[in-house]
Amino acid sequence: MSLKIALAGNPNCGKTTLFNVLTGSNQFVGNWPGVTVEKKEGKLKKYNDVTIIDLPGIYSLSPYTLEEVIARNYLINEKPDVILNIVDGTNLERNLYLTTQLTELGIPVVIAINMMDVVKKNGDKINTAELSRKLGCKVVEISALKETGISEAAKAAIEAAKSTETFSKHIFSEPIENALSQIEKLIESKVYEKQFRWYSIKTFERDEKILEILKLSEDELNKAEEVIKSVENEMDDDAESIIANERYIYIASLIKDCYKKKNAGHLSASDKIDRVVTNRFLGLPIFALAMFLVYWISMVGIGATATDWANDGLFGDGWYFLGIGRSKYEEVSQEYIDAFNAVNAFYELDLEAEDFNSDKALAEMKAVSKKETGIAYVEDEETLAIQEMTVYYDEIPNDADYETTIGISYLDAVAYFEERGFDEPDPADYGIWIPGIPVLVSNGLENVGVAKWLSGLINDGIVAGVGAVLGFVPQMFVLFFLLAFLEACGYMARIAFVLDRIFRKFGLSGKSFIPMLIGSGCGVPGVMASRTIENERDRRMTIMTTTFIPCGAKVPFISMIAGAIFGGSAWVSTSAYFVGMAAIIISGIMLKKTRMFLGDPAPFVMELPAYHWPALKNVLRSMWERGWSFIKKAGTIILLSTILVWFTTRFGFVDGSFRMLAEEELDMSVLAILGSAIAWIFRPLGWGNWQATVASLTGLVAKENIVGTMGILYGGKEATVYETIGSVFTPVTGYSFLVFNLLCAPCFAAIGAIRREMNNAKWTWFAIGYQCLFAYAVSLMINQFGVFFTGNLNLAGFITALLLLALMVYMLFFKKQAKTTKLSKVRV
């Protein structure tokens, strides 16, 4: 017989960690019926007939959010064989509130007290035997992080599911019990026998959704209401508060008898840390520093080295195995470069010329004499400055500045080429050299003798485009690892706490940060996470602004711009994150002052989990899931996009015929014609050429496509893609291009998620239109104000940028905003 075990618990209680341990790799993910919220199921290890269902984290069975509705509906309607209730042992009182409700459902319950390693480390004691006796269900001690007590919890759940033993129930005070007995008689013919009590309690609380299910007649409703009001009058409170108060009185009695805290009344280690990281003044700077370090390590520290290997090695010419031979090759390569530069100072050496003849070049180089150079004398030595380096004709003097002097004279350089020839040193001649994928593919196609167009498609389209994207995978994996670590250790929950104080001033709830945090991995689940926000206006505003945060797909694009234009600077990558944050805050202020979004922000209550050192396995799992999702996209969507881009770039109409174009004819390609038709729109932003325009458009399919498209459009020339991009964009126009693509409409998948969550075509188009217009306005200001300082002023553009800035300032500071309610947040 197959069994279903439902995992239920508060957010941050370790439920998902336990689910991963119980199921291992036997997991599958889908959506709950009728909604796009993720549903996780898996087979229990060593038990193919036992299914584990990971319910969304909830605080109560009185639903206010979509997650609570889903969890409650599943427990009521699907009736799993047993509920494995995960309880945070460091926060027992808060977690037992849900437990008291679960035990009333008529479904066997096993309680797994998690984080017992932390409880014992703190010197606290939980009498699980006594707690089990009082609750009337099995209680086991576990540590999901340390993977202790897991098998015992699973076995206890299976035994409870097979047992016919009835569970004891919490008894309320006499007036409430009398009322519940009367209500039970009214509904006994409408519900499952074992759920009489739970439905009676919910009817007493006037739960609207439960009353809809029961479909009581008007007479039955009047009788129930009469019973409820009599208790309310007697106890001088509303029904829902009466039940909640009774539960906490019951929980307090359990805690008193079963839980002994060693340092009761003293601050825990987590509380002491929170006094610093959630401090009113220090919280935000610490967050900024943390994110800078995350991006510095990802983009410059570890990530840069790994990405250089991927771009220059795996998807480049090749690399040295374990670095064997690298130092020798770099030595001889530098000698070649010095000799070439020394000769080029006195004689124009063009090795790429079609009519280049080595013997003729050597003869002409030898013929160059001191008298023919026409070089001025400096300290009685003939010299020539090249790129801030100094070259001497016959001999380098002893007192030369070697930091600014090429290490070989002209005559010695001529002798070098006469002896060794003009070919560059081949890295394969030194050490263990492994050719890169493009080299292997190119050689293989050449040996097979494929057609020119097919060779171009594979080399310059697929390999160059997809390779340009995959080259940034190492950086992304490092970034995902660090973000997963911050989430798992408990710090990211504090950021939501810190930012709520800021967001609330701008009309947003701290709950809006949760979708943004999730959106840093992918915009689709980020948009879907907005369902936790009860207020419809706040939810829509969060949906519109969540994708401003750079997602994982934008990381390669950020890295490419930072590397090609800003020398790989970490501040560019970090600023991209804070540009997104600033866009959200500015948008929140402006939108909240419009009639569509006017009103108080939704309340924000969340639990701050205790800090703990995350399990490496769980962090690596999170990193791999995000990274693998990106790689799969590169192998499907991006592959198809790069093929389309290559074809439309390399083919076009010339002299009335449609054919493959030469390198110098690409401006007549199909893509160039289409891109040029709309490129004028982006000219005020500083990058109104067809290549950049097309790259932005392909980014709507998938943001990684920007990198792949630029790899095709700016590659295949004498210079590298980075060098070409660096020559096309200035720092100002490059940053304008970066910001526009960070803030404009997201990829099609995220737009689809917006459409589902908005459930309204007009709101969807409004969201897309706002994102694009906001991105355009910010990029316009960056370019116009930037070129003002560089001296290339465009008066019309500059005035337009000033007007946009004035409008934005007016919306931010001068228009009266609706009064918002100040809410305090407590650690529960």
**What number is the average pLDDT over the span 41-66?**
82
Pair of tokens at residue 346: 């006195």
Please state, in angstroms and rounded to a whole number, the distance separating the CA atoms of residues 493 and 678: 44
pLDDT band of 380, cuts 50, 70, 90:
very low
* 351 pLDDT more than 80: yes
Sequence-distant (6+) residues with CB within 8 A of 82 are 3, 4, 5, 6, 107, 108, 109, 110, 157, 158, 160, 161
What confidence tens digit (pLDDT) does each residue in 93-140 have?
Answer: 888 888 888 888 888 899 999 888 888 887 888 888 888 888 888 899
Q: Which of 250, 218, 225, 209 is nearest to 103 (CA)?
A: 250
Question: DSSP string of 276-324?
Answer: HHT-TTTHHHHHHHHHHHHHHIIIIIHHHHHHHIIIIIITTSEEEGGGT
pLDDT of residue 821: 42
- What are the chain's domains? 3-162 (3.40.50.300), 174-266 (1.10.287.1770), 323-429 (no CATH)
Question: DSSP string of 342-358?
Answer: HHHTTS---TT-TT--H
Please state, in angstroms and rounded to a whole number, the distance separating the CA atoms of residues 92 and 339: 75
Lowest-pLDDT choice from 133-147, 235-249, 746-760 = 746-760
pLDDT of residue 279: 79
**What number is the average pLDDT over the span 64-71?**
74
pLDDT of residue 167: 64
Q: Are 510 and 497 in contact (CB under 8 A)?
A: yes
Q: Are 607 and 11 in contact (CB under 8 A)?
A: yes
Is the pLDDT higher at 818 or at 462? 462
DSSP-derived 3-state class of residue 107 = coil
* 372 pLDDT more than 60: no
pLDDT band of 791, cuts 50, 70, 90:
low
Please state, in angstroms and rounded to a whole number, the distance separating the CA atoms of residues 285 and 697: 36
Mean pLDDT (the chain, rounded)? 80
Residue 656: Cβ within 10 Å count: 5
Q: Give the global pTM.
A: 0.61
pLDDT of residue 824: 37
Please state, in angstroms and rounded to a whole number, the distance separating the CA atoms of residues 179 and 223: 11
Q: How far are the Cα atoms of 63, 144, 366, 528, 746 from residue 769, in angstroms, in the given order? A: 34, 46, 67, 20, 11
Residue with tokens 């982006």: 682
* Interaxial angle between packed helices 491-505 and 283-296, expressed in degrees from 0 to 180 and rounded to the nearest 10: 120
Lowest-pLDDT choice from 147-151, 491-495, 519-523, 535-539 = 519-523
* 432 pLDDT more than 80: yes
* 786 pLDDT more than 50: yes
Residue 450: left (phi > 0), alpha (psi -120 to 50), or beta? beta
Residue 168: Cβ within 10 Å count: 11
pLDDT of residue 482: 85
Is the pLDDT higher at 305 or at 609? 305
Q: Are 650 and 667 in contact (CB under 8 A)?
A: no
Pair of tokens at residue 209: 């959704």
pLDDT band of 521, cuts 50, 70, 90:
low
Q: How far are the Cα atoms of 49, 281, 542, 545 from residue 584, in angstroms, in the given order? A: 47, 21, 9, 6
What's the CA angle centered on 92, arms 510 and 130, to 5 degrees? 165
Please state, in angstroms and rounded to a whole number, the distance separating the CA atoms of residues 82 and 369: 95
